[in-house]
Chains A and B, each alone.
Chain A
Amino acid sequence: MIPAYAMIALIIFFPIGFTVYASLLRWRGEGFDMKFIGLQNYIDMFNDPRFLNSLYNNIIWIILYLILPMIGGFVLALLLNTNLKGQTFFKVVFYLPGVISFVVVGIIFSLIFNSSHGMLNEILRALHLDILAKQWLGSRLLALPSIIIASSWQYVGFCMILYLAGLQSIPMDVLEAAEVDGAKFHQKVFKVIIPLLKPVNVVVVMITLINSIRVFDLVYVITHGGPFRATETIGFVMYDVSFRALLWGEGSAYGVFIFLLTTIPSIIYVRHMLKTEVSY
């Protein structure tokens, strides 16, 4: 087991440990001139309006991400959990965006959301809905939701697959018993199916939360944090501070913050949810 532990130590614990150490340094990334400054990077970070702006954007992302792809995936799973003809085809189609590279997704939606020639605005204009043809990526209000929609399109298939697996593991006799008792469809969903999907929900919520907090890729490709930092997330700012500004001490502080933000709530949530099992 020692080689395995050595491997884990080398590729997981050492980078984490070094990042924590680097977050306590003034390290400009120019050479190896490092100075220990304690928690000053964290103090500067929490006082930086840019960090607070990115944190706000991440909170928006979490809220919208917990609604759009999660609920969308659940609804798709409900629809596909029937003896529908062509079920397999639809499963593939809905899951396909999830296997497309985020760069490709970013480029596709940059073109769709282009205010001059984009497909969305062209359709709206063709329907004489010019008033709705906005600057999707150029507006400070609309740019972030636009990117979240793009990301949700890519992510909804993954949620669908997880929920579908959960639905197919629900014993049929429970659902039949509910029908016999006179439960309508919406009652079955809310009173029987959703409670029984709690373990799946735990997984989906945790993965969604983690992805919302560490989001970087689509922001980088579509808007690069613009316009006017309206779409900057903590992950993007960490990249910018570390690799453009070459402030590796500050960037490491961002990294540690992201790590704690994803790990601690995950542990608390999972422990709480798994304590309360549901069974019929």
Chain B
Amino acid sequence: MKKTIVMMLIAIFAVSMLLMGVGCKKEAAPAEEVAEEAAPAEEVAEEAPAEEEAEAEAEEPFPSTISGEVTFMSYWTGGVEAEALDMIAKKFMEDYPNIELTIIPKPGDEIYTVIQTNLASSDPVDSFMFWPDAALKPFVDQGLVAPLTDIYEAMNYDEIAPGVYNWARFPGHGDTPYALPINKLVFATFYNIHKFEEAGIEKVPETWEEFLDVCQTLQDAGIVPTARSAGTIGLPHWSWLDRFGTRTMDDYGSFLQSVKDLSIDWTDPRFTKACSYWDEMLPYWHPDSTSLTYGDIYMMLARGDIAMQTLGSWIIGSYETEMGMVPFEDYDMFTFPIIDPDIPIQETGNCNSAQLSMAGKDNIAAQAWIAYWMRPETQEMYCNYTSNAPAIEGIKIDSPMISKISSVFAGRKLCYQFQLGAGLHDLVVAEVEKRSYGLITQEKLAENLNNIYAEWREKEE
């Protein structure tokens, strides 16, 4: 019996070793073989159009004759986003018949660790989806992400997507772009129209005082005005901090930059002032806010358990496509109210972006894949399926809500949201969270954050 068990263990071990050895990437077909395969197709085409097509192909930065294999890691694992990704991948492989694209889905929760270990391994993915700005910076600093200067120039990206220009550039790396934003997400206050009508609210608030009046009116009508959550499971309260910051600071972007480059002193009166608005909101949160997840909150708005919530524009796809809500009948949006009329209007947003690993840097097929997202037809397909705002200008959007948001936010200064790198973000947010619920004073918050930053700077050295 003992011998049998030992032999089984040895067999399992041997099979494991074998499977580890099998996990190697196939080499892409050499260029000469690709040319031989392409030759019969060229012979079939008519002569004159073939010449014109060849000229057009030569000008096209990523011609359809490109061949190779591409791996792409994505955290769109479900819902309309995953469906859209699947559609675009299929279309891509139709347009590039010689490219084999493999999508590797990974849940968003795990993506930091998975990407970190994958990029540092001996067989990283060619390309991956992530969030630019502070989240991506550690990977850029480690030299794990390839510069995209050639793609930007080939696709004229800085001209066609000026709004997200800075999000792909990083301090310490000059003007080199490392990320390709594939959409643009902004934060708006979405509200349940039926609940507003039930409370007799006819006009959306434009000023902070009007906003508090609306909250009180809702509460008096027995309707919970809004909700938040606690911890890393839920709607991050930094999105509310962003709202307060954009409405009380002259240049919220520069404040955020000092937060991201660890130069801030958290006793900064700008931060103190922005945080003071938490206290006025305390009576209006859902009573169970601290146990709610992000998914709970946007569902609660749809069900009418809360009347309004500040959410990213990505929610439109879920509301309309998944839940069948009708814009302007079931729900609508307004921009966060003005707190200080002397402060210029600013907003925050974020985006999803595509990047190349250093393995994908010289993989022309991988470059073609991420550049594919910048084609107007791809942007149109993706944005209209998911009701997301496009990264590039001039895209025709069917969603009336996205069109409204685009027109409302047009011309407003947009900076990337409050977002720090892995680890530091959670530490800071945990302290801000306590302050936002009135559990610690502003002085204690500043002290705790300064201590966290001091320790973090020491570790960075």
Given A4-B9, A135-B287; A224-B233 close (CB under 8 Å):
yes
Pairwise interchain contact A7-B291, C-beta atoms closer than 8 A: no
**In the complex, which range does the number of interface residues on chain A fall in?**
35 or more
Cβ of B454 under 8 Å from chain A: no
Cβ of A114 under 8 Å from chain B: yes
Task: Give the secondary structure class of B's interface.
Answer: helix
Cβ of B13 under 8 Å from chain A: yes
What is the chain A residue whose CB lies nearest that of B305?
A: A116
Cβ of A195 under 8 Å from chain B: no
Residues of A within 8 Å of B10, CB to CB, are 3-4, 7
Cα–Cα distance between A224 and B439 once the two chains are bound (Å)? 19
What is the chain A residue whose CB lies nearest that of B422?
A: A246
Cα–Cα distance between A228 and B424 once the two chains are bound (Å)? 16
Residues of B within 8 Å of A247, CB to CB, are 423
Cβ of A229 under 8 Å from chain B: yes
Select which of B9, B120, B141 is within 8 A of A7 by beta carbon.
B9
Pairwise interchain contact B6-A26, C-beta atoms closer than 8 A: no
Given A226-B233, A228-B230; A245-B423 close (CB under 8 Å):
yes
- The segment from A27-35, A81-89, A167-175 that touches chain B is A27-35
Select which of B120, B232, B287, B422 is within 8 A of A224 by beta carbon.
B232
B324-359 to A contact mask, C-beta < 8 Å, 1/0: 000000000000000000000000000000000000
Chain A 98-115 residues near chain B, CB threshold 8 A: 113-115
Task: Give the secondary structure class of A's interface.
Answer: loop
A235-255 to B contact mask, C-beta < 8 Å, 1/0: 000001101111100000000
How many of B's residues come within 8 Å of A, CB to CB? 38
Cα–Cα distance between A115 and B232 once the two chains are bound (Å)? 20
Closest approach, in angstroms, between the C-beta of A36 and any C-beta of chain B? 15
Residues of B within 8 Å of A246, CB to CB, are 112-113, 116, 422-423
Pairwise interchain contact A240-B426, C-beta atoms closer than 8 A: yes
Residue among A32, A114, A138, A223 with the highest chain B CB neighbour number at 10 A: A138
Pairwise interchain contact A30-B138, C-beta atoms closer than 8 A: yes
Closest approach, in angstroms, between the C-beta of B243 and any C-beta of chain A? 22
Residues of B that sit less than 8 Å from A by CB: 6, 9-10, 13, 110, 112-113, 116, 120, 138-139, 141-142, 144, 230-234, 286-292, 305, 422-424, 426-427, 430, 433-434, 437, 439, 459
Beyond known contacts A135-B288, A135-B291, A226-B290: 15 more, CB 8 A cutoff: A1-B6, A3-B9, A7-B9, A10-B13, A115-B287, A116-B286, A116-B288, A138-B292, A139-B290, A223-B233, A227-B231, A240-B426, A241-B423, A243-B112, A245-B422
Residues of A that sit less than 8 Å from B by CB: 1, 3-4, 7, 10, 26, 28-32, 113-116, 135-139, 143, 223-229, 240-241, 243-247
22 CB < 8 A contacts A-B: A3-B9, A30-B138, A30-B141, A30-B142, A116-B287, A116-B305, A135-B287, A135-B288, A136-B291, A137-B288, A138-B291, A223-B231, A223-B291, A227-B290, A228-B231, A228-B430, A228-B433, A228-B437, A244-B112, A245-B427, A246-B112, A246-B116
